[in-house]
Amino acid sequence: MKKKIVTTALLLFCFFAGFATIENLNGRWTGVLKTDQGDEYPLVYNFKIDGGQLTGTAKTPKGDMPINDGEITGNTFSFNVIVNKMEIDHTGKFYGDSVGVDISLGDARSHATLKRAQ
């Protein structure tokens, strides 16, 4: 019986520790997207955690666009941004001091590292 209680307590602790960690994703994050052709595009995201959902905005050449369909699972997340009627999918992982994000549009896929903006 004690083993069950300890195991349950540890699982709950891990769950809440993971949730508390992802809360630190809130705020402004920046990076650079480098394409295979050598082009570079600045990335700016303002992430907001609202319960188990990720919301906020992404800066685009068309201005700030809303983050859509944001989901959080542990320290990973996914969302999309619609620019010029094109849905750009994002999946990412929060590392505390940085964010790894994979961005895909159709068959084109790229990876970027984001840092917290000062």
CATH number at 18 reads 2.40.128.120
Give the lowest-confidence range in 2-6, 7-11, 56-60, 104-108. 7-11
Say what the pTM is: 0.78
- The reported pLDDT for the residue numbered 9 is 40
- Across all residues in the chain, what is the average pLDDT? 84
Domain of 100, in residue numbers: 2-116
* pLDDT higher than 50, residue 8: no
Q: What is the DSSP string of 61-117?
A: TTEEEE-EEEEEETTEEEEEEEETTEEEEEEEEE-SSEEEEEEEETTEEEEEEEEE-
| Number of independent structural domains in the chain | 1
